[in-house]
Structures are given as structure tokens and as C-alpha cells.
Homo-oligomer: A and B are copies of this chain.
């Protein structure tokens, strides 16, 4: 099974007065990793929107926090596929702190393909689905 990995550095603005990354920012890191992943596969939110008139709104998001990360720490974000359905995809995320060598967080996000105008769930475009399946070794 394939996984996607990318790294990012914790910026000053990501921290809060406890001196660690604010819990909400892990969800932003998840999404940034997802964006990098799509770029690697040759598409992105905007292109999909233009071509198919669909968005990928999040319908669920979860994170478990394991150890705090600090300013300038290098985080490795891993994306794996937890579930791929007709209209939805569930990505699992793991955040490994390369500076402390500890697991920082793990979680998941459930995304649906949604018709932009009708605001209802639709099938994930075949082209996207195939790219995801090929990457994650499901074909």
C-alpha cells in the first residue's frame, strides 16, 4: 500500500501562548499535505472545480494529539487511504515530528464530492478516482 509523505516547518504564527502548535493548525497541516498530494497527482481544488463544477468539502475531521510540536520543528505528514467510496474519500494522516522524533498527531478527514451549484453529493469524477486508486495501489 502506497502512502504520500511531505514535510513542513512549524512557523511562529502556528504557535500559541503555550509555546506549542495550536491544535487547530494540525487540520491546516492535513489540508496542506492533501494539496501537495493533489499537485503531485496533477490536479488541484481549483482545476477540479473548473473542469467538473465540484468542490471537495470536508464532512468530518478528527485529530488525536500525541506530543506537542514547537516553533521551527520539522513535521513529516503522511497521508494514507482509509476508504474510497463512490462519492466520498476518507484520508488518514500521521504527523511525525522529525525534530523530536516523536509522533505528534494522527487523524482523518472525510471529504465528499459536491456539486457546486446544487450543493449536493455527487460521484467523484472517474479521472480523479482512478488517479487515487492507482496511487494507493488499489488497481
**Contact status B31-A46, CB under 8 Å:** no
Give the chain B neighbours of A44 by CB distance below 8 A: 71-72
For residue A52, CB closer than 8 A to chain B, the reply is no
Within the complex, which residue of B27, B39, B119 is in contact with A24, where a contact is CB–CB below 8 Å?
A: B27
One complex includes copies of this chain to the number of: 4
Interface of A is mostly: mixed
Within the complex, which residue of B15, B20, B31, B60 is in contact with A11, where a contact is CB–CB below 8 Å?
A: B31
Given A24-B24, A57-B18, also A12-B45 (CB < 8 A)? yes
Give the chain B neighbours of A45 by CB distance below 8 A: 12, 71-72
Given A27-B24, A62-B62, A65-B58, also A16-B18 (CB < 8 A)? no
